[in-house]
Chain A
Amino acid sequence: MTLNSLRATGLAATLGIFIILPFVLEDYWIYTVTIGFYYAILAASWALLVGYVGRISFAQTAMAGLGGYASALSVQHIGLPPVIGLGFGVLVAGLIGFVIGRLTLRLHGAYLGLTTIAFAEILRITITAEYSLTEGSRGLQVAALIEGGTRVEYYFLFLAVTVACLALMTWLLRSRIGLFFQSIREDEDGAASLGVNVTLWKTVAFAISSAFAGLAGGLQAHFVQLITPSMMSLQEMGLVLAMAVIGGFHNVFFAALGGVGLQVLLEALRELGEWRLVVFGLLTLLILRLMPNGIFGALFDALAKRLMRNGNDK
């Protein structure tokens, strides 16, 4: 088996499993996996920015919240149908992401991280403070995406959107833009010396990553039919980071799997209460320290090595 056919098989198998799942799971778990898809898109879009472009950001969940609130409010006040509202949410998140990307061009590493934390918190505090518009911490009621939709219907919608997002991300990353992104991660000055417009692509990367996050946020808002500022918190960001790291944040697909997987694990370990997050925190530290490619990354590497040892092509 070649490496490519290993990849194709893995993808097909994973997709197959997710298609069959709603027919074997109870309602409660179908709901859980659906929420997992929200995190999958978040984790994958974060991995795109951090893993491929090398731009550290802690504003991912804030962007999701921005998209969610933009969508919810546009539906509520302008009367847009939720699907268009989603588009509006994507636009708003993408735009703010573009602006933040532009402002932080000269920042790197921890300075960049700190700035994104500050931006994220400012956004969250603003949304909380403007309670006349957003209902603040009480939470905003949001119109349903599918009127009277069943859990199974939402499941497949979310699955479809997640697959589409991953396909789009993969296409982007396999294209020359993906090469430019990675060259920026490796060496900005070197990339510029070869004709790569580093300023443009750093900004676009932030915008794209934020747009995907905004989409996820919008979907989540119109599914749960409630949105609160807590989805923009740094705690939530820590969860997304954990998901991407544990899954493997140098690969959008692995990061997405980390998202779904950890969300399911979160529900499965319900009895542990608050301790679940402690377990995840420890797991994240361990993986960061010992398995930098994440669990799925390590798994894939191991399988790939097996193949090569059996005398097949690279």
Chain B
Amino acid sequence: MTHQLLEINGLVKRFGGLTALKSIDMSVGEGELLGLIGPNGSGKTTLLNIVSGYYNADAGGISYEGRAILGDAPHQLARMGIGRSFQVTKIFQRLTVLENMLVAGLSDGKASRSEATARAAGLLRDLKLERLSDTRASSLSGGQGKLLEFARIMMLSPKIILLDEPFGGVHPELKRFMHDQLRKWNGAGTTIILISHDMGSIFDLCERVVTLSYGDIICDGTPEETRNDPAVLDAYLGDHHGSA
């Protein structure tokens, strides 16, 4: 029986008295570029954190490429091909851009330093960061930092990447560049789950949008369907459409 790349079944997560995820069922197929939206507190980041191994769940299961992964450590999942970014970038400030890349490239112990450096150089070129290779990450601008985080994740050669608000505070031209990169990687086979409040980006990039509200999935469909769904409009109170 074929399976989807990522299957989430009956996932429940509670924090003390608060139920952040009520019982999430969703599947993500290989090659999808999926948007995950919802008002603040709807559980998007919580879901991401569970899938990437930072939180455990109170009930339910997750399977990735057919095997159960709930409870695995983040570094194990990273090596299996699940990459993720963070809302506030976690680049290594006192290391150089290249060193940031090498941590990802060398972490599984398989590649040699020269191989990893060559791959890093390629990715940095794609993202127009190659001139900053030996610069300390702390000297980068906010936008460059976000690009570096992308580049680092791609060093893992991930099958699926989970992006948490990657466009926060990014100016339009850089955002367009990021969109192009994401489309390019998606086209080459990388599955992408994108959390964003930036509806423009979501509707621009994603063929499928999943909407969360108070820990429940209230809509799962195309951007058009989502835009017109009454439950979604209700959850957002109608003031998020078209915001860039």
Whether A and B touch directly in their complex, counting CB atoms under 8 A apart, is answered as yes
Residue A179 at the B interface, CB < 8 A?
yes
- Taking chain A's interface residues, is the majority helix, strand, or loop, or is none over half, making it mixed? helix
Residue B5 at the A interface, CB < 8 A?
no
Contact B84 A193 (CB under 8 A): yes
Residue B241 at the A interface, CB < 8 A?
no
B78 interface neighbour in A176, A180, A186, A194, Cβ under 8 Å: A194
A284 CA to B106 CA, complexed, in Å: 37
A195-B104 contact, Cβ under 8 Å, with A186-B93, A190-B90: yes
Of B62-70, B94-102, B213-221, B222-230, the one contacting chain A is: B94-102
Interface size class of A (residues with CB under 8 A): 20 to 34
Contact B86 A196 (CB under 8 A): no
A194-B104 contact, Cβ under 8 Å, with A186-B93, A189-B90: yes
Could you tell me the distance in whole angstroms from the C-beta of B42 to the nearest C-beta in chain A?
A: 22
Contact B106 A179 (CB under 8 A): yes
A314 CA to B99 CA, complexed, in Å: 16
Contact A193 B73 (CB under 8 A): no
Closest A residue to B113 using CB positions = A176
Contact A192 B74 (CB under 8 A): yes
Residue A126 at the B interface, CB < 8 A?
no
Contact A199 B73 (CB under 8 A): yes
Could you tell me the distance in whole angstroms from the C-beta of A167 to the nearest C-beta in chain B?
A: 19
Residue among A192, A194, A314 having the largest count of chain B Cβ atoms under 10 Å: A194
A198-B134 contact, Cβ under 8 Å, with A187-B90, A190-B91, A193-B84: no
A132 CA to B155 CA, complexed, in Å: 58
Could you list which residues of chain B lie within 8 angstroms of chain A, going by C-beta atoms? 52-54, 73-75, 78-79, 83-84, 86, 90-95, 99, 102-104, 106-109, 113, 134, 152-153, 155-156
Could you list which residues of chain A lie within 8 angstroms of chain B, going by C-beta atoms? 176, 179-180, 182-183, 185-187, 189-199, 314
A-B contacts, 25 of them at CB < 8 A, read A176-B109, A176-B113, A179-B95, A179-B106, A180-B103, A180-B106, A182-B99, A185-B94, A186-B92, A189-B54, A190-B86, A190-B92, A191-B92, A192-B53, A192-B75, A193-B84, A193-B153, A194-B78, A195-B75, A195-B108, A195-B156, A196-B103, A197-B73, A197-B107, A199-B73
